[in-house]
Amino acid sequence: MLGLSALAHDPAAALIVDGRLVAAVEQERIDRIKRSTAFPAGAVQAVLDEAGLRLGDVDRVAYYWNDRGQAARALYSACLQAPANTAGFARMARQRLRGLAAPARVADGLRPLLGGAPAPPLDFVDHHEAHLVAAWASAPFDAEAALVVDGRGEVHSTSLYDLRGGPSAPPRLLETSPFPDSLGVFYGAVTQLLGYRALSDEYKVMGLASYGKPNEHWAERIGSLLRVGADGRPKVHIPSLQPENCSSAELDWLTARARRRLSGPFRDADGSFTADAYDFAYAAQEALERGLLGLLRRLVERTGATKVVLVGGVAMNAAAVGRARASGIVDELHVPLAPTDAGASVGAALAVLRRRGLPLPPPGELTDPFVGPGFGPGELRAALVASKLPFREVDGPAAAAAAIADGRLVGWFDGRMEFGERALGARSILGDPRKAETRDLINASVKRRESYRPFAPSVLEEHSSRYFATGRSRRMGEIVAVTPTAHAEVPAVVHVDGTARPQTVPKDWPARRFRALIEHFARITGVPMVVNTSFNVRDEPIVCTPDDALRCFASSGLDQLYLGDFVVDKEAFGG
C-alpha cells in the first residue's frame, strides 16, 4: 500500500508492505527544495527503493484528500465562506473544483514511474480521516477520543471524534468547524503579519513569542481576530480573512483593513524585531493555546475521555502541546510522529488498509522515526572517496562524543533518515550543552538563522526529570519547563523563558548508536545529554544522502562530519 500526500504543501510518500511500515519520506528531502510543493515522485521512488519494489508491484495507492467524495459539501461551504467580491468568489470556486481533477493529476504524476506497467487502483481518504488514523493507530494506549486541528481539510478545519467503540469500530464524528474558521488559518495569518511565510514559518512565531510578555494592546488586537467562547470553541473573525487566499503562502490571508488593524512597528530600522513584535507573538501564541485547550476540554466534556490523540498541523506547535499535556485535562495525550500533512500519507495508507480489513503495523513501529533512506558502510565510503577528501575510520559514537566534549560542533549522519520535522539522532548537528556559547556558535556559524531561536537537548531518558519537567518526550514534540539543575549545568539548551524542547532517548531507542554517543558523552563529562539540531543550514531541508551531508559540511562552520564510523575533519577543506 502506497500512501501519498501531494498537490499541496508537505508532499510525502509512505509504503506499507504486509502490515509493516517499510519507508516514509518527504519530497523536500529528495528534491532539496525547502517546503517543496512538487509532486512527490522522488519520494515515491525513494520508498520503493527501500523495499526493493517497483510501482507496478504496489497493490493500491491511498491519497490523503477526497474532494470527489465531498464535492457538493465543499462547494456549498465555499459559497458560505466566500468573499463578497466576484474575483475572490471565483478564485475559491476554482480551488474547490480543481480538487475534482486530483485523480488525473495524481495519475499523471505517477505515470513516469510505472515503466509501462498498469497503474495501481487509487483510493481517496478524507483528509481528517487520514490524520485521525495516523494518530489512532500509533497511540501507545487505547485512545478514547481524537482532536484533529489544522489549517483546512476538504470542508473542515477542526474535527472532534469519539473513539470509545475501539479500533474495530468506526470513529464517531462529534462536531466540526468549517474552513476558514481555523486555528491553523489564524496562526498562519499572524505568521504573515510578522513578515514570515505562512504554511512553513509558524514555528518561528512560536519561538518569537518566548521573548514577549502580556500586553493589553496586542491582546485586544489578537482578540479581534480570534476569540474563545465560554463553550471552549475558538472562533475566527471571518470578515478579517480572504478565504480564497488561505491555501496559498504567496497571497495575503487577511484583508487590507485587518492588516492595518493588526499591524504594528514590528521591525527596527536594522530589521530586527521590536518589543511590540515579541508581545504580538506572545498574544497570538497565548490565544492559540487557549483555543487548543478549549477544544480539548470540550472533547473531554462530550466523551468523558481520559486518553486522547491530537493531530493536524496545529499539533506541531510544541508550546501548545506542552501546555496541553501539563494542563491535566487528560491523563494521556498522544501526538503522532508527523502530525502534519506529510504524516497524512501514512494515515491515508492505514485508513485504506483498515477499510479493507487488512492488518495494520503495530503502534511501536508507527512511532519509529527512522524509516527514511539509509546508506550502508560501502555507500558511505564510496561517497567519501568520490569527494577526494581525507577521512579516517573510527568508533563513531565514542569519537564524536569526545569531540563534542572538546568543544567541537559535529555533523552526525548515521543509519536511516528520520521521517517528520525533527532530527532525532540520524541527521543531526550536535554540540556541548554545558557552554551557553554553543547556541550562539551554531546559530552564527552553522545554521545561520534567527538568533532568538533555541536548540533542543537530547537526553538519556532515565535522567530527563533531573533537568526537565517531563520523564518522556521521545520526538521533541513538547516544550516544558526546565529545573534549576538545567539552568546551572546545561545553559545552551535553556530558552530565555526557562523552557526547553527535549528529546528523551530511551535504552531501546532504534538509533542505538546515537544513544551510545550520549552515553559516551555522559561518561566523559557527567552530563547525560547533547545539543541536537537538524543537520541543515538555513533555507535547506535536512540532509538525506551522504553527498548532501558533505555539501552542508563544506558550506558551514561544522568542525567534523561523521558518516557512520568515518570522520572528516574541517582541516580537509583547508580551514
Q: Using an 8 Å Cβ cutoff, are 196 and 204 in contact? A: yes
User: Which alpha helices (DSSP H) does 178-248 contain, by range?
Assistant: 183-193, 202-209, 216-223
Cα–Cα–Cα angle for 296, 301, 303, rounded to 5 degrees: 95
How many helices (H) and strands (E) the chain has is answered by: 21, 22
Q: Which helix (H) or strand (E) holds 29?
A: helix 27-31
Of 189, 193, 208, 124, the closest CA to residue 151 belongs to 189
Q: Write out the three cell numbers for 508.
A: 531501546
* Residue 161 β-bridge partners: 146, 173
Q: Write out the three cell numbers for 196.
A: 514570515
User: Alpha-carbon distance 290 to 286, whole Å?
Assistant: 6
User: Alpha-carbon distance 63 to 207, whole Å?
Assistant: 33
What type of residue sits at position 157?
S
DSSP string, 96-124: HHHGGGHHHHHHHHHHHHHTTPPPPPEEE
Q: Using an 8 Å Cβ cutoff, are 86 and 71 in contact? A: no
Buried b (16+ CB within 10 A) or exposed e, 377-397: eeebbebbeebebebeebebb
* Residue 4 β-bridge partners: 13, 63
User: Alpha-carbon distance 377 to 389, whole Å?
Assistant: 16
User: Alpha-carbon distance 348 to 129, whole Å?
Assistant: 8
- Among positive and negative, which fits the CA dihedral 125, 130, 136, 138? positive
User: Alpha-carbon distance 428 to 432, whole Å?
Assistant: 13
3-state DSSP assignment of residue 258: helix
User: Alpha-carbon distance 157 to 431, whole Å?
Assistant: 39
- Among positive and negative, which fits the CA dihedral 444, 447, 449, 455? negative
User: Alpha-carbon distance 158 to 72, whole Å?
Assistant: 19
- Among positive and negative, which fits the CA dihedral 327, 333, 338, 340? negative
Residues annotated catalytic, as ranges = 9
What type of residue sits at position 276?
D
Q: Using an 8 Å Cβ cutoff, are 483 and 450 in contact? A: no
3-state DSSP assignment of residue 158: strand
User: Alpha-carbon distance 334 to 137, whole Å?
Assistant: 11
Q: Which residue has the cell 486530483?
A: 102
3-state DSSP assignment of residue 555: coil
3-state DSSP assignment of residue 217: helix
Q: Using an 8 Å Cβ cutoff, are 300 and 276 in contact? A: no
